[in-house]
Structure formats: C-alpha cells, structure tokens
Chains A and B, each alone.
Chain A
C-alpha cells in the first residue's frame, strides 16, 4: 500500500515537473530574447515597431544576419556589422535586423554554414569566405547579385580594384555572389624593440633576413616563431611563390598533367628558401609541436623577434592582447635577388564577403531591404564604421583622419603602396584536391619534418591521383 502511494506520488511529481517545464519553456523563450537583446543594443522587432519615426504605411521588414561570433558582448572582427545594423535601423525604422551569433570557432561555424546550405536555410545575409561561394551558387542557396547590385555603377565604384573579382573568382563568369568587405595582406611582424636593441634594420631582402636570423641566434633570441601544429600558419611564405614567378597558367599546367612540381622552378625555389631558413636555425626548436597561439605568444612575449602573419590576425586580436601593435612593424616579407618579378611584390587578398541567402528572395520587400543594407555597408558611412573597428576594408576610404597604431599604419600602407600584387594566396589557383596538402608540406619543410623533395613528391602524388 505504502509503495503504491509512493509510486503514485512519483508519477504525479514527474507529471507536475513536465507541466512546469512546458510553462517555463514558453516564458523562457521570451526571457532569452531579452537576454540577447540586452547583450546587443540591437533594436529587435519590438523596438523598431515602436519607433516613433516609423511610417505607418511602410511595411515592417525583418531580415537575419549570421555572425561568426560567440555573442554580441565580446566580438572579434564582426563588431562593425552590429554597429552598421544599428545605424541602418536608426535610419530605416521599418527594418529590423536580427543578429544571430553562431560561434567564433571555425569548426562550429563552418559546420553550421554547411548544414544551412544543404538544407537551404542560410540566413538573408551571411558573412563568409570565398571558398564556399562556388558550391553554394551551384546549389542555388545564395543569390546572384550581378543584376541587382553589379549594374549599380555608384555601388561598384566604391570597391578597391579587383576586390569584387577576387571574391567571386571561382563563381561563373559575370556573376556576383559575394560582396567583399575585408581586405587582407600576408606578411611579417617584427619586434622593433629587439631590432633596435641589436641595431638591426627591418629586413627587406632575403640576405638581410638571414643576417637578422644570425644575429638573433647569437644572442639567444628565437629569430622567427613558427607553429607546426596549425599547418595554415604559413601566411608569410605564400608570397614566396609569386616572387619566383608562379603564374595561374603554371598552376593550370600542373593540374592538367603538363607540368610536374619538380620541374616548376618557382615552386621548387620557394620551397628551397623555406628549407634554407629552417637550416639556418631561424625557428624555435619545438616548432613542429606548437600551435599558432603558442607561436604568437612567443612573439608577443618578446621571446621571438619575427612572426609570419596576415592582416586579419592583427585586426581581430582582442583588446588587452594587442599591446604588440605598439612595438611591432610589418612588411610584405623579404624580396629575392633572384626573384622573377621586376619590382617589389606582395599579396593582397579579399576573401571575407557578404553573401545573400536565397531565403531573402521569398519577400520582395525583405530582399530590397537586404540590398539596401549591403549598399549602406559599402557606403562611406558604412566603411567608416568598419574602419573604426580597426579593420582593413575592401572599399575606398581616406585614412588621413583615423588614429592608427604604428602596426596598423604599416599594414594600411601595404594596401596602398605601389607594388606588384597577387590577389590570391598561390594555393587558391589549384582545385581543392590539389591544394589540400599545400600548407601541410610548407609547414613540414619549415619545421624540417620533411625535405623539399618529399614536399614536392607529396604534392605531385595529389596531382597524379587526379589524372
């Protein structure tokens, strides 16, 4: 009898808990909305609906942007979109922009992008990288903006030369699937304090770089910090290939089986320079075992004098960890006396862009608002917002009145200086099956885990597998 009562009591308790949870769920959604709204400053639907300036006849429109951020309170790189959304909503009270933070972790946000694309649930606006555009364009999950924005001369003129072409380089001819917003250069960071201490000049040539390596080694300072675990941390070495004259045509020949890697002089020479640097003892001894974060820490802690990097890393460094911006110099990396180009060269890149999910086209008003927001982002006002977040931009901007750290000034100069520029990291010229091991073999040579011959053989094996 006692047990029966206990069982009944337990069943009642569980049922009650379930009912309570259901109730909590309903109210919980509202509370959650409040939490995110409080975090963001972004005026959500309620705010825009209650705005006094709203035209009663104007249709209320809402669209969504996915941000690669963890939340709206601690942003790395996409704070400008939040600011731009706020500014835009203030001007257009009938528009409400929902900002969804999907994660800063590349693995997590990459997965959400892919899942969203495969189910055609990508948001109205998606900041993404150019590698995804071709597949999504073919799948029809993003919108071709060539007719709606590409024919708008005032819009197109706002962008740096080649920026739109670079972002859309893998998409079909004449299409525009991504609107670039972030400019990138690949180069090197130099600890000016250490260079001054040992009376060294910031190296511009290969010979000067080797001399600096020798001096730092003699003084027990790691000349160049290098990460081996994160194979992609080889930004500063990508321009080596261009400097030795690698062209898009050569890349095509390799992919067609008409040219072998060991016969491609620019690639062989670039790998030999990396090998030479490693053999000169330029890197930390544990390079093969440390991550980018650890290598970067060696540099920011003053234990290493140089670090290969790209402008995005510098721009997106969180506040508090960015003191190196004050004592660092930046350039595009060493030039080679036996290089194939007629002048100094470097690598500018435009990868991050704003793509429009096909869901936006479900409602003409919503689509019009999305296009208008893209125009606003590229406008002088939108660009100024982005610049205020310390980000190099893909649109034209006068920096004369902007306060920049010494490092940011150097980086900005690398966007405007006159030099022979390649728009891409060389590996981008190759199709995915060919380029899958590029960074890994470059890291392998730099950390002396493999020889130049082994690196070339690995790349050739990838190419042979496709023929």
Chain B
C-alpha cells in the first residue's frame, strides 16, 4: 500500500529543495572562500572565486602541524570511543533490564542520566579544568578522554536504553530458558540486536570527538597536544584573521567527517529510528 509520502506534492518538494539549498550554501560558501585571497574575501566576500587557486590549501597544510594534530585526535578517538560504547551499553542494559530495581526507580535512573543533556558543557569547564590541574592531567590527551567519556554518557545511554527497550522481553526469557548467562544475554542476544543503534552512536560519538573544540581548547595548553578541531583557530591572530587559510583548513577538516557520514549514513538513519516502534 502506498502512502502519501511516496509521492510528495510540489510544495513538499520545493520545501525540501529550499532546506537542502539552505544547508548547502554555507558549505559551498566556505569552499569558495578557501579558493580566494584574503583581499578578495574582504572586498568581495559573496562572489564566486575568479580563479581556483589551491595555494591556500598548500599553505594551510604547511602551516598546521596536521599529522601531529591528527595523531592526537585519533588517539583520543581510539581510546574514548570503545570505552564510551562499552560503558553506555552496560549502563543502558542495567537501566532497561535490571529486574532487581522497580520500574519507578528505573525511570528515575533514566531521568538522572538524561539530566546530563540539560547541563550546558560550558558551565562545567572551570571545575573540570580545576580537577585536571589537581590530578596533573592538564595539557594531556587523557584529560580530554576522561571528560569526553563522561560527557557522552547521557546521550549514549538514552539512545541505547531506547534501543534495548524495543526488544521484546520474550526473547530474553527464551534465552534464559535455554540456559544463557548474563554475559550470553548481553553479547549474544542484545548486542547483535542493537547493532544499528550502536553503529549510529559510534558515528555520532566519532563526530563529537573529531569536532571536540571547546574541551580541547580549555584543557590542552601547548601546541604539541592540540587536536584537529583546533586547526582553524591557527589562523586567528591578535588583530587579524587569515580567513582564506581558515576556510581552507576548515574544508580539509570537514572532509573526513563527510566521508564517514556518507559511508555510514544508512546506519545513522536506521539507528535513529530504532526503538521508535516498540516490537
């Protein structure tokens, strides 16, 4: 049976086209800026570049310690991402399926974690900086990793609780009747079933770590620990901003993100709707 979404009307199409254009224009403009000189940007900021000059990209790559930044970023991702996924999976399982706690308490636990989403990260920066200074982790990647794992928990737990909730109880009961242990339940029943949700979460967390600017800017002091998200700031000076270089660096930085997003978009969509309809 076909529904009305299969054949959208002209108004819907125009609306979608409008939103697409609205989304693409800033990216396109950024690409245009990356091919212009600073003077051209200052004097004719909204025009299409007269020539496609790759010099900005060349100089941006020369000026930014790109490999070092990439290494620092990947180090954070490789450590933080699996830990974020592991902790949030275990926590979500406990919240969703623990029979020892009442349904009411479970709801409160869920609310407790969701509250983490409401607190703006910027208000936590000073206490975090203070703690990291006291435990001598300031200006190390570990400070970012530890905090990022904590910051990611509310979103991760909320997503995974929804995904686990969507799995019928009968499946778990059947597995227990077959003699499954708690670990069997976790890794042989639930994990395969919520794989799309985990994949989605992994991509979201990856993008979060890749774009982690605020935390890195606060906790990483020296040049040697800087991450890729801080590359564009490289071109902001005391009284001047090298917009051309900044645009080129930004285009370079969003490349990997776009690649990951394009490659994994089916997981993102399937994962984000997982749990929408309880089975």
Give A residues with C-beta under 8 Å from B.
3-4, 7, 14, 17-18, 20-22, 24-25, 28, 32-33, 35-36, 39, 66, 68, 70-74, 76-77, 100-106, 108, 111-112, 115, 118-119, 121, 290-294, 296-298, 300-301, 303, 312-313, 316-318, 321
Contact = CB atoms under 8 A, between A and B. Distances in A.
B167 to A, nearest CB: 16
B237 interface: yes
B233 A313 contact: no
B126 interface: yes
Given A36-B224, A297-B43, A14 B82 contact: yes
User: Closest 9 A-B residue pairs measured CB to CB?
Assistant: A32-B224, A297-B42, A105-B236, A104-B237, A294-B42, A119-B133, A100-B222, A7-B187, A21-B78
B28 interface: no
Contacts of B233: 70, 103, 105, 108
A287 to B, nearest CB: 14
Nearest to B67: A35
Contacts of B133: 119, 121
B75 A21 contact: yes
Interface in B120-143: 126, 129-130, 133-134, 138, 141-142
Interface of B: 38-39, 42-43, 63, 65, 68, 71-72, 75, 78-79, 82, 86, 126, 129-130, 133-134, 138, 141-142, 187-188, 191-192, 217-218, 221-225, 233-234, 236-241, 243
Given A22-B79, A293-B38, 12 more contacts: A25-B142, A28-B71, A28-B72, A32-B224, A39-B65, A66-B221, A105-B233, A105-B237, A118-B126, A290-B42, A293-B239, A316-B238
B65 A71 contact: yes
Nearest to B224: A32
Contact of A76 (B134, B138, B218, B237): B237
B39 A121 contact: no
Contacts of B217: 108, 111
B212 to A, nearest CB: 15
Residue among A4, A7, A21, A28 having the largest count of chain B Cβ atoms under 10 Å: A21
Contact of B221 (A22, A25, A100): A100
Contact of A115 (B39, B86, B129): B129
Given A313-B239, A316-B238, A297 B39 contact: yes
Majority secondary structure of chain A interface residues (helix, strand, loop or mixed): helix
A76 B129 CA distance: 28
A17 B78 contact: yes
A300 B239 CA distance: 15
Residue among B43, B134, B234, B238 having the largest count of chain A Cβ atoms under 10 Å: B238
Contact of A301 (B43, B187, B224): B43
A172 B130 CA distance: 28
Nearest to A100: B222
Nearest to B79: A21
A35 B240 contact: no
A69 to B, nearest CB: 9
A18 B82 contact: yes
A77 B237 CA distance: 10
Contact of B188 (A7, A18, A112, A317): A7
Contacts of B142: 25
15 contacts: A7-B188, A14-B82, A18-B82, A21-B75, A21-B78, A33-B224, A39-B65, A74-B63, A104-B238, A112-B221, A119-B129, A291-B241, A293-B42, A303-B43, A316-B239
B188 A70 contact: no
A4 B237 CA distance: 55
B130 A119 contact: yes
Given A7-B191, A17-B82, A297-B42, A104 B236 contact: yes
B241 A293 contact: yes
Contacts of B129: 115, 119
A74 B237 CA distance: 11
A106 B138 CA distance: 21
Contacts of A318: 237, 240
Contact of A36 (B39, B134, B188, B222): B222
A154 B63 CA distance: 42
A447 to B, nearest CB: 17
A303 B43 CA distance: 10
Contacts of A17: 78, 82
B239 A111 contact: no
B222 to A, nearest CB: 5
A70 B234 contact: yes
A18 B145 CA distance: 13
B240 A293 contact: yes
A249 B136 CA distance: 48
Contacts of B187: 4, 7
Contacts of B82: 14, 17-18
A36 B82 CA distance: 30
Nearest to A120: B133
Contacts of A296: 240
Given A28-B75, A293-B240, A293-B243, A301 B39 contact: yes
Contacts of B141: 25
